[in-house]
Each structure stands twice: as structure tokens, then as C-alpha cells.
Amino acid sequence: MTKKKTLGNAAFYLGNTLIALIFVSPLIWMIASSLKPEAQIFKGLNSLSTFIPRGASLDNYIEVFQRINMWKFIGNSLFYVLVIILLDLLVNSICGYALAKFEFKGKSFLLTLVISLMVFPAEAIMLPMYREMADLGWINSWASLIMPFVAKCFSIYMFRQFFMDIPDELLEASSIDGCGPIKTFFNVVMPISGTVYATIFILDFVAHWNDFMWPLLVVTGEEKRTIQLAIQTFFGSKPINYGPIMASLTISAIPMLVMFIFLQKYYVEGIASTGIKG
């Protein structure tokens, strides 16, 4: 029995490892290609040698920073993404807390509305959002990049699901100690809700760091250009060299990889604690 269990575990981990390698292989190839000379990038694609950067150098990365002001574009993306995340975590957690722990007229309707609006893809409302930004005179401003994404139905629902599991006795004890609803939320609820906050943080960061279409619509100058728009620079001039493209894509992937490595534990816990509750 022990031998069968050992063989079963070995097969399980081997299968998971192979699946993981398949999913991560494009990332490995991208990083390897960013270190190769242009002539070697597409050589040997049908063999494992394509993942080995022979004659590796940092020339492609040097070219990236010579051709565009990459630090500025990274800073632009970090600024607007982090502002969106901070506002999302604050505004939507308060909304989710209200839907989870307070009783008020119209609560069921609001919850139904939040869930219903989750089915609409962003592309379906992109044109009305752009028209609204134009009417407000916010085109090519930080407001146009940030404000449309502060309130999110998915975040509200995630927070609501998590807060539903917080014992009411804990909130009642806080009230007895003299804490009002706002103080209870910031001093009691937020400190014990790190997993859901980390989950929303990761999902927001990935979504907005990789966002291309919305910045393309509302950013008209170079001053507020994001990193994803900056990468398009390498596709606009001929001949197209894929070495700098791979290098710029690798640079843009680094913040997400670092963030996910450090927050993956909280991400898994957050998904598990909010995704299985009714």
C-alpha cells in the first residue's frame, strides 16, 4: 500500500511538473530570446536548444533603454496602476463590507445588480467610457486612466464573500468596546482580511499593468504613455527586430513575476476563501 501511494505521489508530482513546464515554456523562451542575437532567435524552434541563449548578451536590453525612455514609462505604469489598486481596495472593500454586515433597504437589489454587472465585458462599455472621459475633458490625463476603474463589481463581490465569514460576535465585541462602524472596519476587519486584499491586489495589478486598449484610447501624448504602449514602439519601425521586443517584454513581465512570487500564498488562500461560499 505504501509503495502504491509513493508511486501515485511520484506520478502526481511528475505530471504537475510537466504541465507547469508546458505553461511556463513561452516565458522561458521569451527570456532566452531576449539574450540572443537577432539571427538566433528563431533558430532551432523544434528542439530544446531554443531555450538556451547561446552567445548571450545584454545588447537587446541596452538597445531598449537607448531607443525609449523605459524608466519613465515603467514609472507611469506603476503610478497609475498603484493608484487604481489603492482606491479599489479602499472603496470596494467598504462597499463589500456594507453588503456583508449591514441591513438596509434595497440591499438585495444592490447585490443582484453587482452580480449582474459582472457579466458585462469591459469591451462592451469601452466606447461609452471614452465618450464620458471626452465630455469631462479628461482625455490624456491621469483621471482618464484611473477613475473608470475605481469601482469594480468583481472586487465588491470578492470582499463581500470574504466579510460574510467574519463572526458577528467579533464586530459586536468591538462595538461594546466603543468602536463605531468605521473604526471597527479599519481597526478590526481590515487587519484580519489580508488574504482577500492580496488577491484583489494581484488581480488588479496584472489586469492594469497588461492593459493596452484603454491607455491606447485615452493617452494621446508621450508624457503619460504606459509601458505597454511604449513596447509598441518596437513594432512601428522597420525592420522589426525581435531581440529588443523580447527584451522589453521581459522587462514588463518582471514586476508581475516578483509580485506573484511573494504574494502567491495569499492569492491561493484568498481565492479559496471567497470562491466557494454562497
**For residue 82, what pLDDT band results from cuts at 50, 70 and 90?**
very high
Statement: residue 258 has pLDDT above 50? yes
Q: Which of 15, 41, 57 is the last residue of a domain?
A: 57
pLDDT at position 234 is 84
Distance CA(159)–CA(143), nearest Å, equals 25
Say yes or no: 191 and 231 in one domain.
yes
Say yes or no: 88 and 185 in one domain.
yes
Statement: residue 39 has pLDDT above 80? yes
**For residue 278, what pLDDT band results from cuts at 50, 70 and 90?**
very low
Say yes or no: 12 and 141 in one domain.
no
Say yes or no: 138 and 187 in one domain.
yes
**For residue 274, what pLDDT band results from cuts at 50, 70 and 90?**
low
Say yes or no: 71 and 87 in one domain.
yes
Higher-confidence residue of 274 and 234: namely 234
List b or e across 16-40, with b for residues whose CB sees 16 or more CB atoms inside 10 angstroms: eeeeeeeeeeeeebebbbbbbeeeb
Length of the chain as a residue count: 278
Q: Which residues contact 248 (CB under 8 A, 6 or more apart)?
A: 64, 70, 230, 231, 234
Say yes or no: 191 and 101 in one domain.
yes
Say yes or no: 160 and 77 in one domain.
yes
The mean per-residue pLDDT over the stretch 181-195 comes to 89
Say yes or no: 18 and 68 in one domain.
no
Read off the CATH number of the domain in which 270 is found.
1.10.3720.10
Quick one: three-class SS letters along the chain? Answer: CHHHHHHHHHHHHHHHHHHHHHHHHHHHHHHHHHCCCHHHCCCCCCCHHHHCCCCCCCHHHHHHHHHCCHHHHHHHHHHHHHHHHHHHHHHHHHHHHHHHHCCCCCHHHHHHHHHHHCCCCHHHHHHHHHHHHHHHCCCCCHHHHHHHHCCCHHHHHHHHHHHCCCCHHHHHHHHHCCCCHHHHHHHHHHHHCHHHHHHHHHHHHHHHHCCCHHHHHHCCCCCCCCHHHHHCHHHHCCCCCHHHHHHHHHHHHHHHHHHHHHHHHHHHHHHHHHHCCC
Say yes or no: 68 and 81 in one domain.
yes
pLDDT at position 119 is 84
Say yes or no: 10 and 146 in one domain.
no
pLDDT at position 271 is 62
pLDDT at position 171 is 87
Q: Which of 17, 32, 57 is the last residue of a domain?
A: 57
**For residue 13, what pLDDT band results from cuts at 50, 70 and 90?**
confident
Statement: residue 95 has pLDDT above 80? yes
The total domain count for the chain is 2
Q: Which of 9, 36, 57 is the last residue of a domain?
A: 57
Tell me: the pLDDT tens digits for 200-246?
Answer: 998 899 999 999 999 999 998 888 999 999 998 888 777 788 899 99
Cell of 106: 434595497
Distance CA(251)–CA(116), nearest Å, equals 37
Tell me: the pLDDT tens digits for 57-72?
Answer: 899 999 999 988 999 9
Residue 158 · residue 196 · CB < 8 Å:
yes
Least confident range from 64-78, 103-117, 263-277: namely 263-277
Distance of alpha carbon 134 from its chain centroid, rounded?
26
Statement: residue 267 has pLDDT above 70? no
Say yes or no: 98 and 228 in one domain.
yes
Say yes or no: 14 and 91 in one domain.
no
Higher-confidence residue of 178 and 271: namely 178
Containing domain of residue 117, as a range? 60-275
Distance of alpha carbon 57 from its chain centroid, rounded?
30
pLDDT at position 270 is 62
The mean per-residue pLDDT over the stretch 180-208 comes to 90
Tell me: the pLDDT tens digits for 132-147?
Answer: 999 999 999 999 999 9
